[in-house]
A and B are shown apart, each in its own frame.
Chain A
Amino acid sequence: MIIDEYKKPQTIEEAYSILTTKKNSQIIGGGAYLRLSKKHISSAIDLSNLKLDFISETDDYIEIGAMTTLRELEINEITKKYFNGIISNSIRNIVGVQLRNIATTGGAISGKFGFSDLITALSVLDCKVILYKAGAVKLVDFINQKYNDIVEKIIIRKNNQIADFQAIRNTKTDYAILNVAVSKHTNNSYKIAVGARPGIAIFAVKAEGFLKTVDSSKENAEKAGLIASQEIKFTSNFRASAEYRQELCKVLVSRAICNINK
């Protein structure tokens, strides 16, 4: 990795102007995984001076600044309080405190890594990404489209969802072999996201549909797990086979639903 110049802009306008005018410039977030990159970055843009390091609460939303570290996200009282602590739970096993003190929320979602635990967890919440130019974008759209823009913050609607996160790992701090997040609205509708397939989190739409029509018994949770495992595509990599991931999906989805309905 080579960086030609390091920029710490004082305003987001300035940051955006460097990003859009300078070829091969890049927002660096926490920069935690930069060392692994083989990129040649013309301008590395550090957002540290833009006061994007915050977690706050309005009547309707939780707001998380892009430069908030994963460690802050993990231990913050607000994120722990809502959605059964799913945000905090999903990231507490990422490598170690030291890495979580570097990696940022904006970086974690912009990386769009398939193994991401945070993206899986956020996927089942009513979460929007606030971009400097494009404005509010649904998380799922942010994941699936390319933006040459700056993430300012993410906002999550406080809609009384209950949620649960499940993952299977080899060692306690390893990447998940599979991760699953499930949430349930007060109107009894579910969101089910399955990530680290090893691809990025996607929704189990058929299983969600099935749950709408049935009661919250253990049998139905198991059925939903089975449906999810059949509708979602899994692939093999050196961590696990597609076959095993499919099995895990069945169990983890069902367990998450059961936990929610406890």
Chain B
Amino acid sequence: MKQVNKSVPKIDGMGLAKGKPAFTDDLADSNAIIVKVLRSPHAFARIKNINVDKATKYPGVECIFTHKDVPRNVFTRAGQGYPEPSPKDKFILDEYVRYVGDELAIVAASTDEVAEQAMKLIEVDYEVLEPVLDFEKAENNKSVIHPEKEPYTMFPMGFDASKNIACTYDMHVGDVDEVLKNSEVVIDKTYYTQAQAHVAIETHSSTAYIDHYERLNIITSTQTPVHLRRIIGEALGMPINKIRVVKPRVGGAFGGKQQIHGELFCALVTLKTGRPSKCIYSRKEVFESSFSRHAMRLNIKIGAEKSGKLKAIDLRVLSDTGAYGEHALTVFMIAGSKTLPLYNKVDAVHFGGTVVYTNHTPGGAYRGYGAIQGNFALESAMDELANKLNIDPLELRKMNMIKEGETSEIFKIMGEGGEGTAQIIESCKLDYCLKRGSEMIKWNNKYQNKNKKVIDDKVRGIGLAIAMQGSGIPNMDMGAASLKLNDDGFFNLLIGATDLGTGSDTILAQIAAEALNVPVEDIVVYSSDSDLTPFDCGAYASSTTFVSGNGVKKTAEKMKNLIISEGAKHLKIDVSDTIFDGKIIKSKDGENSISLKEISKGWLYNYGQAQKQLLAVDSYVGKKSPPPYMAGFAEVEVDTKTGHFDILNYTAVVDCGTTINPKLALGQMEGGLLQGIGMAVYEDVKYNKYGQMLTNNLMNYKIPTREDVPNINVEFADSYEPSGPYGAKSVGEIGIDTPPAVIANAIFNAVGVRITDLPITPEKVLLAMKKKQIK
């Protein structure tokens, strides 16, 4: 491997550092009409009347849309494959507003200031309704959040709007109740995970214009350009051959940009006025009016023998999807499907639950996507079991976890909203990850669960957890690529895959270069343009390296074969006698040869009737979704008087198969870990009793700064996934999954209190310690 497993500098890194205009707002027409959204101040209300007369007359206002002026097509903004596994429950604008920040009216004006002033002139007469703000009281609440008749689902998912239920799901293997009843030890606990905000530094941004073919062009900061085109067409009732979607550079996404945001509003304004428009969200809009991680309640029961051998796991989940059901079903299912297979040797397993509507900001896709929630419950409960049995938590995992060559029935039963895909695990180095991680953090020296020494009010503790994710959605999500040979022997790689800053343009170029045995510099990448690049479902579900990467590899191999077969014709030798080494096409004995540089020129300029364009296209749909695995360890130091704690070390050993670009993979891991740590210890979307978000800016919602970074040590296991491109699996999400459980376990180890609701704040730690003392 010459071009992969190599830390090639990110190909757009220097240009971005030098501030080249590359993001949506940089590319918008300088005269673009400004699109602003008037948003609901109420958590739940019906609009009795809305009067825009005064606002429309305000100088500089171009047009205003209310629910009376837009097509009433029901759709979902989720940005998923088709048929969508999310309820179709959203209108462009509606007579109901269902959370504080929900859209009431779209205002287009010459400047921000004009738009702001015009919004103040819109008169709205509300019938304020009783909101549902406690997700544990949402089901069968007398307030029905979606009373309208249109919402539906594309396949059965237990959707029942009259009961505020977005979806339900239930599965089992064996008789869980029976096995639990007969287990020697049972852990029965309830955990809560909070809503987390994505906080990509670039806010949601989109711009639109009509081109000289009179087609609608949308440039937008999105993870899913092709889905977005489909959804815009569906919502506006327009043929999608009239729409082009271009994704420029994206300023961070993390799932937040899988859904659509202002694109529809720009489309409406530009279609109506014929002029360019742009919609740049404020930070407050991103917090209040986009999406956040689904908050969950997770009830878990684990049955085991006294020896520590697990017998049964029962996981029941209640999830809060907020006002709309984007990703309601799939995030909730993944809380089970990407955690429970870790312990595949149980006699019985059950997973089920309900996703409810509330009058909160909608839940949406967010890195970890249910797995982080499930992992907190499962891996906290495993620690509680270890404590109860007085077994080293490391040994308890080793005894029960999945191993290479094994499978889990869950893979077959649970998929993306429906049935899954059976798979044998061909690469799983969890045993190594645990062993190496425990060495790195000196587990055996540091782990003790009694007689902790407190020095100057400080005491240390250590914790661990294991995790898994997936690599794309098998038999569904597709990644395609095309390669074009140019004169001088370099290639254009066109990919639908969406680089969100992750470096996928770079690693996909590396994969193409590896297959063709050419330097990465000879691969010129262009990505994510619905007119020009081949299909790709987009960047989500940890799919790009595995799915798009396999698509690129197939395409590059096809190009290589094309060069060989066409080269053989030119050299007038047999194809079976022809080789291409990346530079030269030649017969095996070397007697006939021509350089790629020369032949590529000839094919385009000089060979008369033998002139031709070499172009290869191919695509890939996964037959399986090989999980990356990891073991995470943390050491914390708790101030026993204040509950405040420092994370001293975080160690992660990861099996993501071959790292196509080790430094970029490391960046995914370090970034994911810190986001997970943020969720574990302070990030928390909070509302007041009226349903107004208290944490709607970066002064009140804190993400980790560089001073908050613990000593993080990441290593990669030597691993090779046979189904992956050059042995690679995914690495985008796995990093975020472990910190909540690891830190909860480390705090327990340090001070003997178990925090079961995230985030683990100093306040919760101290108050739990005091409660324990009183007992």
Contacts and interface: CB of A to CB of B under 8 A. Distances in A.
B767 A170 contact: no
Given A173-B705, A174-B702, A241-B763, A168 B642 contact: yes
Interface string A228-262: 00000000001011011001100110000000000
Interface stretch (B144-152, B551-559, B692-700): B692-700
A177 B700 CA distance: 12
B763 A251 contact: no
Contacts of A243: 767
B644 interface: yes
A172 interface: yes
Contact of B763 (A171, A175, A244, A252): A244
B708 interface: yes
A251 B641 CA distance: 7
A171 B708 contact: yes
A170 B761 contact: yes
A172 B642 CA distance: 16
Contacts of B694: 238
Interface string A165-204: 0001011111101000000000000000000000000000
A252 B681 CA distance: 21
A241 B764 CA distance: 10
A173 B705 CA distance: 8
Interface in B684-717: 686, 694-695, 699-700, 702-705, 707-708
B705 A240 contact: no
A103 to B, nearest CB: 13
B766 interface: yes
Contact of A247 (B642, B705, B708): B642
Contacts of B695: 238
Contacts of A248: 642
A171 B642 contact: no
B641 A171 contact: no
Interface residues of B, number: 23
Contact of A244 (B681, B705, B708, B767): B767
A210 B700 CA distance: 37
B766 A247 contact: yes
Contacts of B761: 170
A39 to B, nearest CB: 14
Task: Tell me which of A170, A173, A241, A251 has the highest count of chain B C-beta atoms within 10 A of its own C-beta.
Answer: A170
A251 B642 contact: yes
A168 B762 contact: yes
A130 B657 CA distance: 67
Nearest to A93: B707
B682 A170 contact: yes
A171 B705 contact: yes
A244 B766 contact: yes
A252 to B, nearest CB: 8
Interface string B42-77: 000000000000000000000000000000000000
Contacts of A240: 763
A174 B643 CA distance: 17
Contacts of A168: 642, 644, 762
Given A238-B694, A244-B767, A251-B642, A171 B702 contact: yes
B641 A172 contact: no
Interface string B741-775: 00000000000000000000111001100100000
A241 B700 CA distance: 15
B700 A170 contact: no
A248 B699 CA distance: 22
Contacts of B643: 244
A168 B682 CA distance: 13
A171 B704 contact: yes
Interface string A202-214: 0000000000000
Contacts of B707: 171-173
B545 to A, nearest CB: 31
B637 to A, nearest CB: 15
Contacts of A170: 681-682, 702, 761-762
A18 to B, nearest CB: 24
A96 B699 CA distance: 12
Given A241-B763, A244-B766, A172 B708 contact: yes
Interface string B286-298: 0000000000000
A174 B762 CA distance: 14
A244 B643 CA distance: 10
A81 B763 CA distance: 34
A170 B765 CA distance: 13
B692 to A, nearest CB: 11
A173 B708 CA distance: 9
A170 B683 CA distance: 9
Contacts of A173: 705, 707
A26 to B, nearest CB: 19
Nearest to A251: B641
Task: Tell me which of A175, A241, A251 has the highest count of chain B C-beta atoms within 10 A of its own C-beta.
Answer: A251
Contacts of B762: 168, 170, 177, 244
A174 B694 CA distance: 15
B766 A172 contact: no
A171 B199 CA distance: 16
A243 B766 CA distance: 11
B176 to A, nearest CB: 38
Contacts of B681: 170
Interface in B641-659: 641-644
Nearest to B706: A172
B705 A172 contact: yes
A175 B704 CA distance: 13
Contacts of B641: 251
Contacts of A172: 705, 707-708
B486 to A, nearest CB: 45
Contacts of B708: 171-172
A146 to B, nearest CB: 25
A240 B695 CA distance: 13
Contacts of B699: 175
Interface string A96-120: 1000000000000000000000000
B700 A238 contact: yes
Nearest to B700: A238
Contacts of A175: 699
A200 B411 CA distance: 56
Contacts of A241: 763
Nearest to B702: A171
Nearest to A222: B641
Nearest to B759: A170
B567 to A, nearest CB: 58
B703 to A, nearest CB: 8
A96 B698 CA distance: 13
Contacts of A177: 762-763
Contacts of A244: 643, 762-763, 766-767
Nearest to B694: A238
A235 to B, nearest CB: 14
A252 B686 CA distance: 27
A129 B708 CA distance: 35
Nearest to A115: B699
Nearest to B681: A170
Task: Tell me which of B642, B699, B707, B766 has the highest count of chain A C-beta atoms within 10 A of its own C-beta.
Answer: B642
A78 B637 CA distance: 35
A247 to B, nearest CB: 6
The 6 tightest CB contacts between A and B, nearest first, are A172-B707, A244-B763, A170-B682, A251-B641, A171-B702, A238-B694
Interface of A: 96, 168, 170-175, 177, 238, 240-241, 243-244, 247-248, 251-252
Given A168-B642, A247-B642, 10 more contacts: A168-B644, A170-B682, A170-B761, A171-B702, A171-B707, A172-B705, A172-B707, A238-B694, A238-B700, A247-B767
13 contacts: A170-B702, A170-B762, A171-B682, A171-B703, A171-B704, A172-B705, A175-B699, A238-B695, A240-B763, A243-B767, A244-B763, A251-B642, A252-B642
Interface of B: 641-644, 681-682, 686, 694-695, 699-700, 702-705, 707-708, 761-763, 766-767, 770
